[in-house]
């Protein structure tokens, strides 16, 4: 094979009909993985929703569950009913369930992976049930503030848009090396806020209050 062969395969949109292909039942519940959270059974005929829940029975992950709720909106402020949100995060001890995180000082929880997937509903709203992540190392010796990596997909999104969820009221936000790279007036778009019993994190793809999207 020539070097020519090893060029990145291009990104393409998930299109509008991914609901029977990507979001599995319970995929937005990172704590227990049960139920239908994350899936859109309303748009798939009976007998054709073949994704999850996973067969592996497990105990719920250890920790106080939190809920993260948000609406994905387009450049006109209209909710997007055919978007998909993925999250990836460390567990409350600050450890990633990944071969690439070999730190033994922070404990793994065998019942917590830290990856979730949620469809938006007809109202553009997604919902995750998870645990608040601990701090993980950042750049140099600095620790990062608790955060969740977010990927957004959908009809009209030719490739994933990446952002992060931070948590309002965390003192560590002030010293987070990634937040520091975001122009101050736009930082608030990365910070989830308490709203009743949930954390609210809205996403604006374009226009007023446009969410900060990241590249790396």
Partner 1 sequence: MTEAFARANPHHQPRGPNVHVIPYNPEAPDQTPSLYPPYASTVKRSPSLPLVRIPQTLTEVTGPGAVWDRLLGPAMLDLTKQHKGEPLGQRIIVSGRVLDENGRPVPRTVVEVWQANAAGRYIHARDQWDAPLDPNFTGVGRVITDDAGRYRFVSIKPGAYPWGNHKNAWRPEHIHFSLFGPAFATRLVTQMYFPGDPLIPIDPIANAAPGEARERMVSRFDIETTQEAFALSYIFDIVLRGRQATPFETQP
Q: Which of 70, 126, 154, 192 binds partner 1 (CB under 8 A)?
A: 154
Which position among 35, 103, 168, 194 is part of the footprint of partner 1 (CB under 8 A)?
103
Q: Indicate the residue among 41 and 198 with the shorter CB distance to partner 1.
A: 41
Neighbours of 93 (CB within 10 A): 19
The residue among 178 and 195 lying less far from partner 1, judged by its C-beta, is 178
CA R_g for the chain: 18
For the segment 192-211, give every residue that binds partner 1 (CB under 8 A).
205-207, 210-211
Regarding 57 and contact with partner 1 (CB under 8 A), the answer is no
The token duo for 7 is 């060029």
Q: How far is the CB of 196 from partner 1 (least distance, A)?
A: 28
Distance from C-alpha of 32 to C-alpha of 109, rounded to nearest angstrom? 13
> Considering only residues 160-179, where is the footprint of partner 1 by CB under 8 A?
160-161, 164, 177-178
Separation of alpha carbons 154 and 159, rounded Å: 9
CA dist 172 and 189 (Å) reads 17
Nearer to partner 1 among residue 106 and residue 194 (C-beta): 106
Q: Decide if residue 60 touches partner 1 (CB under 8 A).
A: no
When the beta carbons of 10 and 197 are compared against partner 1, the nearer one is 10
Cβ of 130: how many Cβ atoms within 10 Å? Answer: 24
For position 100 contacting partner 1 by CB under 8 A, the verdict is yes
Restricting to residues 19-38, which ones interact with partner 1 according to CB under 8 A?
19-22, 24, 27
Backbone dihedral region of 173: left (phi > 0), alpha (psi from -120 to 50 degrees) or beta?
alpha
Applying CB under 8 A, among 126, 153, 166, 201 the residue interacting with partner 1 is 153
Q: How many CA atoms lie within 13 A of 35 on its CB side?
A: 11
Residues 73-92 that bind partner 1 (CB under 8 A): 74-76, 78, 80, 82, 86, 88, 90
**Terminal-residue alpha carbon distance, the chain:** 28
User: Which of 79, 115, 125, 170 contacts partner 1 by CB under 8 A?
Assistant: 115
- In whole angstroms, the minimum distance from the beta carbon of 34 to partner 1 comes to 13
Closest approach, Cβ 135 to partner 1, in A, equals: 11
Do residues 24 and 53 lie in contact, with contact meaning Cβ atoms separated by under 8 Å?
yes
Instruction: Yes or no: say if 68 and 193 are a contact pair by the CB < 8 Å rule.
Output: no
Closest CA to 68 of 114, 116, 127: 127
């Amino acid at each position: 094979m020539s070097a020519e062969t090893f060029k990145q395969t291009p990104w393409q949109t998930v299109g509008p009909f991914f609901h029977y292909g990507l979001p599995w039942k319970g995929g937005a519940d990172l704590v227990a993985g049960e139920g239908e959270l994350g899936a859109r059974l309303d748009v798939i005929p009976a007998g054709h929703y073949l994704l999850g829940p996973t067969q592996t029975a497990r105990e719920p992950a250890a920790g106080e569950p939190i809920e993260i709720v948000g609406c994905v909106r387009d450049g006109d402020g209209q909710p997007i009913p055919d978007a998909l949100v993925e999250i990836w995060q460390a567990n409350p001890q600050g450890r990633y369930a990944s071969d690439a995180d070999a730190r033994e000082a922070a404990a793994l929880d065998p019942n917590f992976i830290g990856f979730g997937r949620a469809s938006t509903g007809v109202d553009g709203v997604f919902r995750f049930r998870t645990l608040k992540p601990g701090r993980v190392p950042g750049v140099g010796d600095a620790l990062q503030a608790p955060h969740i990596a977010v990927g957004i997909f959908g009809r009209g999104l030719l490739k994933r848009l990446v952002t992060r969820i931070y948590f309002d009221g965390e003192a560590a936000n002030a010293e987070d090396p990634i937040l520091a790279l975001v122009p101050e007036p736009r930082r608030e778009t990365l910070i989830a806020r308490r709203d009743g019993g949930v954390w609210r994190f809205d996403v604006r793809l374009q226009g007023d209050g446009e969410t900060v999207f990241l590249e790396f």
